[in-house]
């Protein structure tokens, strides 16, 4: 239904009309038809269920429709991971000789894909500072740039991209990775972006038990991506889609708690002499706090902070934690900490890590659902 707040849409979206409050789990990989004409019609259909699960599965379709409703999009397409969504989207839209504009401050896997397979296939990538006003538009080469790829907030330093600037770019497709914001934190499509993309493994599913990616936008464009995705084969599992639908139902209350705790932790860390910098869009000290306030409904559950002692201090702090768990990923119920330079961004060289903000003393914290006071106490003890 229209006119509802996103928190309500998270509960009402992706329903099949059967009256079942829990989503149905369709495990079938293939469906019987009434004969040859029906089989031919099914084989020629686009993004429809009832034929073969690589083309579409009812449980996965319910998840896609829920994301589309949350993003205010005409349709969505799910993948087996966030990287599956990135790779399929890029390769569906770009060919040899094409040009991409992307930001320096991106997830390490995205950077590796852009500098590895894309380069091997002859797709040129120009990296820009995503926080610099006008940087994306200035790097576009009219007639050659096929794709502008942004990530906001960025991983791991929580830098922001101006969504109005991205939406104003004409010519290339504009894709925004909004994983850290979630559909409840920001709405890139409403700012004019062509597509919004998520690693739904993270906050959307929210329980560390589903591996999914998803992209949403206009139906014609999503259908074009589908045509490539069925050949690429990064197909979403119905089991993971089922878990993600469950996660969507509680996304608003989970995210509210996590965002509130993340801001409390960030403010605590700002007060510590051992910490030289704290990165969280909700802090008044964040250089883009005004932009965050203008384009985000929630400031996010992730923060990062820099220790004065560099890598040795980071390793020492992580070893002293008892409640906060050393692990990659984010958005789940447990609070997780990682050292990006030796985990999520380890594949980058020294210069690449510096440009992405994954410095030796930086730690990334994904805030879970524990009491904020207990998380602060754990960090205080470790510091």
Tokens of 92: 């569906």
Contacts of 161 (CB under 8 A, 6+ apart): 103, 130, 131, 136, 150, 151, 152, 154, 176
Q: Which of 7, 15, 54, 297 is catalytic?
A: 54
Whether 107 is a known active-site residue: answer yes
Whether 202 is a known active-site residue: answer yes
Tokens of 235: 């197909």
Tokens of 49: 């269920």
Q: Residue 190 and residue 234: Cα distance in Å, rounded?
A: 28
Tokens of 107: 């997830």
Is-contact 154 357, C-beta < 8 A? yes
Q: Which of 157, 202, 249, 298 is catalytic?
A: 202
Residue found under tokens 């050659």 = 144
Residue 259: closest CA among 208, 207, 298: 298
Q: Residue 119 and residue 117: Cα distance in Å, rounded?
A: 5
Residue found under tokens 């994306």 = 136
Q: Which of 107, 254, 298, 353 is catalytic?
A: 107
Look at the chain and count its residues. 383
Q: Which of 75, 162, 177, 378 is catalytic?
A: 177
Collect contacts of 65-68 with beta carbons under 8 A, ≥24 apart: 65/13, 65/14, 66/10, 66/13, 66/14, 66/245, 66/248, 67/14, 67/183, 67/198, 67/200, 67/204, 67/214, 67/216, 67/248, 68/216
- 103 Rama class: left (phi>0) / alpha (psi -120 to 50) / beta: beta
Whether 219 is a known active-site residue: answer no
Q: Residue 236 and residue 254: Cα distance in Å, rounded?
A: 24
Residues forming the active site: 54, 107, 177, 202
């Amino acid at each position: 239904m229209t006119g509802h707040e996103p928190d309500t849409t998270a509960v009402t979206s992706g329903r099949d009309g059967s009256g079942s409050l829990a989503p149905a789990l369709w495990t079938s990989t293939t469906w019987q038809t009434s004969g040859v004409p029906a089989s031919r019609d099914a084989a020629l259909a686009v993004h429809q269920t009832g034929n073969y699960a690589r083309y579409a599965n009812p449980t996965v379709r319910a998840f896609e429709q829920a994301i589309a409703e949350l993003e205010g999009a005409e349709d969505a397409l799910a993948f087996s991971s966030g990287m599956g969504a990135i790779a399929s989207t890029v390769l569906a839209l770009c060919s040899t000789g094409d040009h991409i504009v992307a930001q320096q401050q991106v997830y390490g896997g995205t950077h590796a894909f852009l500098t590895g397979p894309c380069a091997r296939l002859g797709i040129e990538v120009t990296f820009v500072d995503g926080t610099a006003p006008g940087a994306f538009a200035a790097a576009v080469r009219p007639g050659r740039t096929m794709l502008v790829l942004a990530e906001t907030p960025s991983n791991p330093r929580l830098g922001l991209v101006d969504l109005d600037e991205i939406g104003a770019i004409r010519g290339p497709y504009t894709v925004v990775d909004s994983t850290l914001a979630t559909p409840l934190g920001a709405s890139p499509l409403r700012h004019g972006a062509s597509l919004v993309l998520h690693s739904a493994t993270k906050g959307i599913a929210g329980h560390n038990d589903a591996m999914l990616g998803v992209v949403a936008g206009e139906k014609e464009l999503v259908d074009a991506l589908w045509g490539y995705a069925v050949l690429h084969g990064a197909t979403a599992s119905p089991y993971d889609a089922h878990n993600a639908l469950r996660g969507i139902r509680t996304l608003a209350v989970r995210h509210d708690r996590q965002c509130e705790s993340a801001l409390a932790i960030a403010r605590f860390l700002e007060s510590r002499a051992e910490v030289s910098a704290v990165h969280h869009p909700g802090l008044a000290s964040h250089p883009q706090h005004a932009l965050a306030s203008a384009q985000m409904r929630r400031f996010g559950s992730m923060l990062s902070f820099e220790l004065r002692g560099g890598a040795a201090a980071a390793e020492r702090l992580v070893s002293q934690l008892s409640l906060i768990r050393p692990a990659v990923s984010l958005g789940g119920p447990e609070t997780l900490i990682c050292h990006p330079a030796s985990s999520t961004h380890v594949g980058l060289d020294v210069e690449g890590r510096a440009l992405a903000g994954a410095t030796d003393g930086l730690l990334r914290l994904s805030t879970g659902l524990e009491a904020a006071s207990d998380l602060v106490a754990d960090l205080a003890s470790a510091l």
